[in-house]
Amino acid sequence: MTDSDISNVTFDNTFLDSLLAHVAIIDANGTIVDHNEAWKNFNANSASIKRPNIGANYFEVLQQAIEKGDDYALKFLLGLKNVLNQNKKAFTLAYPLKTETNSFWFNLTIRPCSDNNSHFIMIHEDITASMKAKYEKQENEDRFEVKFEESLDGIFITDSEGTILEANQTASKILGWTQDELLESSLDTVLNTEDPKYQAAVEQQEKSGTYSLELEFINKQGNTIPAKTTSRSYRNPDGKLRSIISFHDLSQWKEVESDLIKNKNFTESALNSIPGVFLVLDREGNIVRWNEHMTTELGYSPQELSQKNALSFITDDQKEAVRKKMEACFENGELAIETKIHAKEGGIKDFFLFAKRFVQDGEPYLVGAGIDITDRKKVERENRKNQIMLEQLFDNSPVGITIVDNDDKIHKVNDSFTTIFGYSEDEAIGKNINKLLAPKSKKHEAKAISLATQKGESLQTETIRMHKNGKEVPVLIGSVPVELEDEIIAIYGIYVDVSTQHDYREKIKDTLREKEALLSELHHRVKNNLALIASLVELQLFDAEDDKLEGELENIKNRIMTIASIHEVLYQNGNFTTIPFTNFLQELANSRMVQNKRDTNQVQINIPSDEVSLNINQSIPSGLLLNEILSLIFKFTDKSKSSVIDIQLREYGKKVHLIIEGDQIINCPDEAKKSNSLHNILIQTLVKQIGGTLIWPNPESEYQKFEFFFTKENGSSPASEYLEVAE
């Protein structure tokens, strides 16, 4: 539509201005071409659907309202498009509109106002009053319906003849009739309408429009139900007389009354079950109520308690303090105090009292309770006593003690700690114990001790810590965790200065080393002297003309060399308490004595490789025993046959097992066992000396075995033990 087209359209502005509705004329594009005075004068600047001036496009106005979230503007826009596009002949919409000061409802109408559908009229009729009345009516109806249906009282609506027109669910529930059954009944079904009280109430209602009294209703089972009943008359829109009768079941009140009595008894039982005394005091401190514990714990009778003031129970030295607390409680509302109370029998008990203020009938009271803490106070005093003793033990201990936390921070040190390391308490507190005392070489060890103790282990070790002046201090450290409810809360570090003991130990170690050197030399000289004696015996052998004498001298020499071999192994081993017996066996096998016998008797001897050590007290007799058994074997061996002798040495726990075995290593083992030779005498003596058992070979078996069992003794001496500890 062109500007010339618009100018050809004329409107009766006088007629439009006379209308109360907001009227605007728009073209097919939605542009406002005219409006009336009501449109112009309406202040809609703050409203979402505005009243713009001539020339504004109404589609843009509605689009802005839609962007602000106005759903009605969207409906408005869609309806406007349908009319302008000639999809609909007209469009109506009731919509709300809110300005800064008021809320409105408008009824919108859009329709063409020209024959060629080039212009359209928008009429916004103010329907605020009718909408408000509509919603108020609906609200009142809803409220009445909600009140009617959800009321806790039974409600009937009856006509003038007493016919029940409506009944709510509560009435149905109270009387046991269904709502449909009640709607088919009249008041004489649920009430004794012949009751003079009811008839008097009806007469009163005819005069005043209402009555209120207690009536007896009849339920479906025929039982009477006392109920507080109220009735009010009114006329419906048709002018007919109606009555609203509401009734409240008083039998429930009786049940409530019964429950109150039960609750009172329950309260009394609960108060008497409180673990302690309970009492109520008036403003003067007089006892107006109490529980049974007041009589059982304090020994006073109910009559005595009713005549006593609360302050009369308090000991004289604390009475004034309790009185001030009570006055403050009446003012501020709370009280909590520990005090001493007189029992009737003359004893004094510790009590913790707490109370609160309450007001009944305008009068202030204190409700309070008290717990007997006599036993707890005794425990607290005992704990305090123990704490003081521990503190004195800590402070006066001759060893250094410190308390550290789980971060290794020092919390407390005693005087002995200061004496040992030179740090005062102020210098030590807050410092990391390991950084403060541990030298660089012991940092890892100190950290390991801390970690282990933090996991609950108690440790003790001897180590080095640093004095404040940089000097090393040898100390015996004890680290003890302190646990509370399975949690490590602190660690005791205990330090014993062992500098003096350390110096003495070093002197003892030096002395022991000197003695060890002397023992080594002694064994060496014993071995040499035994070798010299053996040489003298060997020289005597050259002059022996008797074969028997020669054999005896040879055996004596072998025994001397066996003992010498023990001392040789001791000297070579450097350990003067135990001997690696396997080394001795090898020494014995390589000795000239055994070599000569092996060559003469064509015997091969195999030595065990397992390492077994014996002390010197068992090594010498064991070595001599082995020498005598070998000598006996060599004596009774068939020299025309070669043989192999296996020597086994085993250790099982504390038992030692020595085996000499082989195929036919000895002829006539019974004869050898029973011969009254010096070999047998020495064998029996040596077995007895060691406290062992010797098993001879089975004479009926070709595989022969000597087995010797004995219990191993630990090889030690006082000097060597001390030396090992010192090392």
List, for residues 651-665, the tens digit of each pLDDT value: 888 888 888 888 888
Q: Are the beta carbons of 647 and 585 closer than 8 angstroms?
A: yes
Using the Cα atoms of residue 580, residue 582, residue 583 and residue 588 in order, give the sign of their dihedral: positive
Q: Does domain 151-254 have CATH number 3.30.450.20?
A: yes
Domains 151-254 and 274-377 share a fold: yes
DSSP assignment of 94-112: EEEEE-SS-EEEEEEEEEE
pLDDT digits (tens, 9 = 90+) for 286-327: 888 888 877 877 888 888 888 888 888 888 888 888 888 888
pLDDT greater than 90 at residue 117: no
CA dist., res. 384 & res. 239, Å (int): 91
pLDDT band at 675 (very low <50, low <70, confident <90, very high): confident
CA-CA distance, 129 to 83, in Å (whole number)?
28
How confident is the model at residue 718, as a pLDDT? 40
Per-residue pLDDT, 574: 57
DSSP helix/strand/coil, 300: coil
pLDDT at 539: 66
Q: What percent of the chain has pLDDT over 90?
A: 22
Domain ranges of the chain: 3-133, 151-254, 274-377, 397-497, 545-711
Architecture of domain 397-497: 2-Layer Sandwich (3.30)
Q: Is the dihedral angle over the CA atoms 497, 498, 503, 506 positive or is it negative?
A: negative
Query: What's domain 274-377's superfamily in CATH?
Result: PAS domain (3.30.450.20)
Which residue type occupies 650? R
- CATH number for the 3-133 domain, one of 3.40.50.460, 3.30.450.20, 3.90.1150.10, 3.40.980.10? 3.30.450.20
In percent, the amount of the chain with pLDDT more than 70 equals 84
Residue where the block lists tokens 């009477």: 224
The mean pLDDT of the chain is 82
The residue whose two tokens read 């086994």 is: 648
Return the amino acid letter for 609.
S
pLDDT digits (tens, 9 = 90+) for 477-495: 999 999 888 889 999 999 9
In 3-state terms, what secondary structure has residue 487? strand
**What integer pLDDT is reported at residue 721 of this predicted model?**
43
The span from the first CA to the last CA of the chain, in angstroms, equals 120
Phi/psi zone of residue 574: left (φ > 0), alpha (ψ -120 to 50 degrees), beta?
left
Dihedral-angle region of residue 716 (phi above 0 means left; psi in -120 to 50 means alpha; beta otherwise): beta
- Taking only the tens place, the pLDDT of each residue in 488-536 is 999 999 999 888 887 777 777 777 666 666 666 666 666 666 666 766 6
Q: Residue 437: pLDDT band by 50, 70, 90 thresholds?
A: very high
Q: Are residues 43 and 26 in contact, defined by beta-carbon separation less than 8 angstroms?
A: no
Architecture per CATH, 545-711: 2-Layer Sandwich (3.30)
- Residue 487: beta bridge partners? 484
* pLDDT at 724 > cutoff 70: no
pLDDT at 412 over 50: yes
38 within 8 A of 125, measured Cβ to Cβ: no
**Residues 682-699: tens digit of each pLDDT:** 888 888 888 889 888 888
Spell out where 265-360 has E strands: 277-281, 287-290, 334-342, 348-360
- Any idea what the Cα angle at residue 195 is, between residues 189 and 199, rounded to 5°? 100
The DSSP bridge partners found for residue 409 are 432
Q: Is the pLDDT of residue 538 over 60?
A: yes
pLDDT score recorded for residue 288: 83
Q: Is the pLDDT of residue 332 over 90?
A: no
Per-residue confidence (pLDDT) for residue 521, from 0 to 100: 63
- pLDDT digit string, tens, across residues 610-644: 778 888 788 778 877 887 888 778 777 766 677 78
User: 86 with 115: CB under 8 angstroms?
Assistant: no
Query: Could you give phi then psi for residue 367, rounded to 5 degrees?
Result: -105, 125
The contacts of residue 284 (CB under 8 Å, 6+ apart) are 309
- Under the banding of pLDDT at 50, 70 and 90, the label for residue 108 is very high
